[in-house]
Chain A
Amino acid sequence: MKRVLSILVVLMLMFALVACGSPDEPADPDNGEPAEPAEPSEPDDDDPDEDAKTDWVIALETDIVQFDPIQIGDATTSGVAFQIFERLMTRAPDGSPIPCLAEDWDVSDDGLEWTFYLRQGVEFHDGSPFNAEVVEWHFTRAQSDDSNFQAQFSAITEMEIVDDHTIVFTLEEPNAAFPDNVIMPNGGFIPSMEAFESMEYEDWAMEPMGTGPFMWSEWVQGQRVELVKNPNWWGDGPILEKVIYRVIPEANTQVIELETGGVDLITRASVQDLERFEADPDLNVIVTPAYRSRQYELNVEAFPFGDKRIREAVNWAVDMPNIVEAVASPITVPSDSLLPMAGWAYPGEGVLPNIGYDPDRARELIEEAGFEMVGDYYEKDGERLSIEIHSPDHRYFMDKDISEVVQNQFAAVGIESNVKVMEWGAFLDEVRAGEFQMVFLGWNQSGADPSLFTDAKVMTGGRGNYANLSDPELDELLREALREQDMDVRKELYEEAQFMINENVWHIFVGNESLMWIHPANVRGWDPGPAISGDYTQLYFE
């Protein structure tokens, strides 16, 4: 009897292992930066079938928060808000600004005055008109103390209403990336002013009214958000009657819901699930490049990275393209720049000076820096060449796993290291305070303008420059590139900047993380590109 029982127990445990697999690696579409909509594309030849499904059900990891655009900080709310609100401009598939609520705009020769010509006859969902007064009111709020995006809009010194549909923004100094600030989701979303004035603030923030293709319909807390088609939308579409969001926190549950028809779209899955989906004729897997760079940042103020030779040595010591290929393919693609490869400022593969994989060269450099091999590891004046690798877990695709392979490759050349995995909140605290030697970080932006990356990450005092990097020459170059209005000149300047960044060897570049979309194969009229994804106006089921 006992033996039978023990066999039973063992069998159940084995079943458990097989059934569960590893609950791993969501391609965490984190940060408050949703992707952007495309220019409405022409529907395919065949028109939507009348009996076809007309609701599009999307799985969300967390519930929505609140819809005051100037306070939205989470990706979930931002994605839903995207259907309801619109901005002055939106993005073309290549990331460049194209008209939305502003039909056209021009900039004065000195680059200080931006004039927006607003689309006429546009109404908010509550029937109130969209005009220059609303735009002024919104951007005044966005600059106020209540706003989470005060700094983003601080460059605007004045707004002048020329007529009902023309407004001029005056900037403090020329800024070629200004459209990228206006276009940034959340802060750039324009809500109904009339509704704001006539409703209690709390109700207004929970019943968003914009000008977008879908209108707020219902919210069942913790469960579901329902949007319905805006029949009066100024653009072409939408074809769908409803967009429904279902809150499903667990990644494995999302997968089962997709496979049993409970939802139509999931945006994260493990590498193993992706392989299975790709083999399934009923499902479509779309992987699109995004403006999301991933890299290890080396703290030049901490031992041992003050010495450039050591920064070079750790680069020679790891075979990053192969690590990424083996661990995080196809979601993460190896890269050799801080700037995303999908953006216009990336000069192409093989152009930038890049350090390859050569463990012997790594050892030579370490020895040049005065270290000696003692036992298995290098030491200098009794201090071991030891590196703590700060790594988040499940924040970026396969982050911890990549760090563990790096740790192994470090050991192979005689660098001792350990991977310090922390919960995200605590991790941010330490990284923000500069308490790290080497850290795995990502930078996500919805736009392609290189300044969104360079000015934050490597400019002296940049808001994402946690490693306290500083190169006055580079700062000057970046400032010049931001003032410059000519795109060709800007491209050259940013190429030069990328050379300088790579020559400083401040990073070990990991790659660019793509976005993934998995939905039924009968979905048509939707093509998420690098800067787009939220545009469901032409989407239909066959």
Chain B
Amino acid sequence: MFEYAMRKAVNAIPILIGVSILVFLLVHLTPGDPARLLAGPEAYEEDIEAIRERLGLNDPLHIQYWRFISNAVRLDFGRSFRTQRPVMQDIRTRFPNTLQMAMVAITWSVIVGVSIGVYAGVRPNSLGDTVSMASALVLVSAPSFWKGLLLMLVFAYWLGWLPASGMGESFFSADGIKRMIMPAITLGTGTAAVMARMTRSSMMEVLNQDYIRTARAKGLGERNVIYRHALKNAMIPVVTLIGLQLGVLLGGAVITEQVFAWPGIGTLVINGINARDYPMVQACILLIAVIFVVVNLLVDLTYSLIDPRIRYN
């Protein structure tokens, strides 16, 4: 298993180099001049040129790339054009906030999503199944922007139960938990809905298998059949999905973060893109790529825990 993990990690290197080239080219080829955006539209042309020179933007692209990648391997992503601070410093401050929100969101959405999926999968085409699957469809289709504002309108504005936005000082305080509720719900509903639909179809497929009939024929209780025999086997595609969703939540919580003024990595990327803050965007995108690779590796390794037939030797 360790060997397998190592092999996967080595395989990730070319992927990350590819991502680094792609993101480097994308940010540099996007129209928009960082120096001009930094100086503001009312700036003097001489001042803009001086900033461009200072940021090293007048060097040929391949030199700029080499500078970026040779520092990146030492985990030095340079200084932000906007703040002049090392970008890793900002990422280290912001990433835990995103991680916190994503973990809470994935936890509740897996619990709720899988439970609903099992419930619906066991009773296909019943009223409960139709209602839960229709609600899942609505929730997965509703944009986070809308869900977030709607929650805010109801719980902050009308009922006044929760603070509208911002993050608490600590997650383990009443204020911290209160402020976590709406962002985590907004972020997790889509995932919960996808999870429910996936679990349902996976369950329905497994429940038609011969070994389930055998289990029932042996006289096992229905509960035992569903949870010990069916669900475990139905989990493989669901675990894959959890992995993918976790990556999406960590890298794609941008809108939820914007709506709830949550100081995470998404806001960092958005501000970086708007200001053409190349070092910041490059570092964040690479980080998100690394997360995807790591999460996928973990998912691969989890398979063998769920299904003993899968071995990594």
Contacts and interface: CB of A to CB of B under 8 A. Distances in A.
Given A71-B84, A205-B84, A31 B33 contact: no
Interface string A152-185: 1000000000000000000000000000000000
A207 B267 CA distance: 23
Contacts of A262: 163-166
Nearest to A220: B263
Interface stretch (B56-64, B153-161, B299-307): B153-161
Interface core residue of A12, A152, A253 (most chain B CB under 10 Å): A253
A257 B164 contact: yes
Contact of B83 (A66, A223, A257, A445): A66
Given A33-B42, A65-B83, A256 B157 contact: yes
Given A71-B84, A145-B50, A260-B157, A425 B167 contact: no
Interface string B61-94: 0000000000000000000001111000010011
Contacts of B134: 5, 8-9
A479 interface: no
B137 to A, nearest CB: 9
Contacts of B44: 150-152, 463
Contact of A260 (B30, B145, B156): B156
Contacts of B84: 66, 68, 71, 202, 205
B195 to A, nearest CB: 21
B7 to A, nearest CB: 38
Nearest to B257: A249
Interface string A30-43: 01110000000000
A443 interface: yes
| Candidate in A20, A23, A444 with the most chain B CB atoms within 10 angstroms | A20
A148 B47 CA distance: 6
Contacts of B32: 423-426, 428-429
A425 B47 contact: no
Contact of B166 (A221, A246, A259): A246
B131 to A, nearest CB: 8
A456 interface: yes
Contact of A65 (B82, B259, B260): B82
B167 A252 contact: no
B165 A248 contact: yes
Contacts of A152: 44, 47
B41 A464 contact: yes
A52 interface: no
Interface residues of A, number: 62
A351 interface: no
A19 B156 contact: no
A222 interface: yes
A45 B90 CA distance: 47
B46 interface: yes
Interface of B: 30-33, 36-47, 50-51, 54, 82-85, 90, 93-94, 97, 127, 130-131, 134, 138, 142, 145-146, 149-150, 152-153, 156-157, 160, 163-167, 258-261, 263-264, 267-268, 270-271, 274, 276
26 contacts: A8-B134, A9-B138, A16-B142, A23-B145, A31-B40, A31-B42, A33-B42, A65-B83, A71-B84, A73-B39, A148-B38, A149-B47, A150-B47, A202-B85, A205-B84, A222-B93, A222-B94, A222-B263, A223-B261, A247-B261, A250-B165, A252-B259, A253-B259, A253-B261, A257-B164, A428-B36
Given A247-B263, A253-B165, 14 more contacts: A9-B138, A16-B150, A148-B47, A148-B51, A150-B46, A253-B260, A260-B157, A424-B32, A425-B31, A425-B36, A428-B37, A432-B33, A456-B42, A463-B44
